[in-house]
Amino acid sequence: MADEIKQMRGKEKEKYCQMEVEGKSCERARKKTRRGERQIIEKKKAIENRIKAASSVKDHLATCPHFRHYRGNGLHAHLESGRGDRLPVRTKQYIQNLLKLNMEAPFGPEWSDEEKIKRRDMVAPEARYIFVHEVSDEDADKALELRDVERPCNCKGSIVGFVHYRFTLEEEVPVLYVYELQLEHRAQGKGLGKFLMQLIELIASQNGMGAVVLTVQRANPMAMNFYICKLRYTIAAISPSKVNPLGPEKNYEIL
């Protein structure tokens, strides 16, 4: 009888020890899970703060003084920053008209609905701009004199193009998303588009973005060639042709 009691106590002790080990193991697992959750939250918060900080910069050209002016192939231009909710009426009308002129044909019958969306996007508080002002030869010469010193010049002519961009999140990665890069026909083919994209990539890098992303209409072969062949952009994993290659073909690619 004493042996049986002893054996029972031994089994109970063994069971208790096992439960204690399992309890500690569960507690360690819970702590690991909580630690992992905290790290995920902290990472998301850090990314949100990075995007917020990038969006709060008043003038991204301030840290890129050598990009304030462009001179090449007969075009002299001065660049200026802006934001969607602070556009003068004339500027707003100009960019909407240029957008329609350049994009109505590539969008085809979808343009009517797309234009409404784009017009809302263009005046949103999150929208950031680089405006290209064509300047005279005299102003261009003055601008070149100031190019090596961080002083703004007063040269400003009519707008001949713009870049609309935003800082946002794509697949958990902070990115600079180019919504529009639009140039008047007479400002195209002069190296300005490449110059502007180099500036955009520099702004993205300076603000800790993981990539530069943009959308191109498949019916716009000149733009597709410009980004893929000249600038070496690639079709993104989130582009429709990559996400569902066997599905119905979409009219755009994300690069």
Residues 196-216 pLDDT 10s: 999 999 999 999 999 999 999
- Predicted TM-score (pTM) of this structure: 0.81
Provide the token pair at 90: 């004339």
Provide the token pair at 181: 């890069």
Q: Is residue 127 part of a domain?
A: yes
* Residue 102 contacts residue 160 (beta carbons within 8 Å): no
Single out the residue of 147, 134, 138 nearest to residue 94, CA to CA: 134
Count of the separate structural domains present in the chain: 2
Provide the token pair at 218: 């498949």
pLDDT digits (tens, 9 = 90+) for 136-188: 765 555 555 545 444 556 666 899 999 999 999 998 999 999 999 999 999 99
128 SS3 class? strand
* Residue 162 contacts residue 130 (beta carbons within 8 Å): yes
Residues 127 and 192 in one domain: yes
* Residue 176 contacts residue 141 (beta carbons within 8 Å): no
* Residue 75 contacts residue 65 (beta carbons within 8 Å): no
The residue segments making up the domain with residue 32 are 1-56
Residues 125 and 37 in one domain: no
Residues 98 and 219 in one domain: yes
pLDDT digits (tens, 9 = 90+) for 217-247: 999 999 999 999 999 999 999 999 998 888 7
Single out the residue of 127, 136, 195 nearest to residue 161, CA to CA: 195
Residues 98 and 201 in one domain: yes
